[in-house]
Amino acid sequence: MSLQIVCPICHINNTVEDSTVGRYVQCSSCPNRFYVEAPTLADIEESKTGSSGINMSHNLKAIQQLISESDRKVSKTALILHNQVFLLRVVVVLQAAICLLLMLLVFWR
């Protein structure tokens, strides 16, 4: 029997063998290692019922995946914004330097 464990860091679903219960396992998609807890009664009931009906745990995992995806998108946007702000600053500094040079040239004569 294998267990489904969501990584607490990247929220990716990891499938591990139940022989890893009580041990630390390496996440399949990030460098994090996490502790495999013994499955609770709720987990066992869930695996019995399978895909029938509303699977709250499955929904939760889907939501967690959505959140981690949107997190990635947000951090990407933040990075792009950061780069744009940096470029803007460089442009402003360059313009100021050019203005100063021009003023110096004008006042020198």
Residues forming contacts to Zn ion in the complex (CB under 5 A) are: 7, 9-10, 27, 30, 32
Question: What is the distance between the alpha carbons of residues 103 and 9, in angstroms, rounded to a whole number?
Answer: 55
From 5, 23, 2, select the one nearest 14 (Cα to Cα): 5
The residue among 9 and 21 lying less far from Zn ion, judged by its C-beta, is: 9
Minimal distance, residue 28 CB to Zn ion, in Å: 7
What is the H or E stretch that residue 15 is in? Answer: strand 13-17
The answer to whether the beta carbons of residues 36 and 22 sit under 8 Å apart is: yes
Q: How far is the CB of 7 from Zn ion (least distance, A)?
A: 3
Provide, rounded to whole angstroms, the least separation between the CB of residue 72 and Zn ion. 13
Q: Whose Cβ is closer to Zn ion: residue 47's or residue 68's?
A: 68
Q: Which residue has the tokens 């203005």?
A: 99
CB of 1 to Zn ion, least distance (A): 22
Query: Rounded to an integer, what distance in angstroms lies between the CA atom of residue 27 and that of residue 12?
Result: 8
- Between 3 and 7, CB nearer to Zn ion: 7
Cβ proximity to Zn ion, 35 vs 86, nearer residue: 35
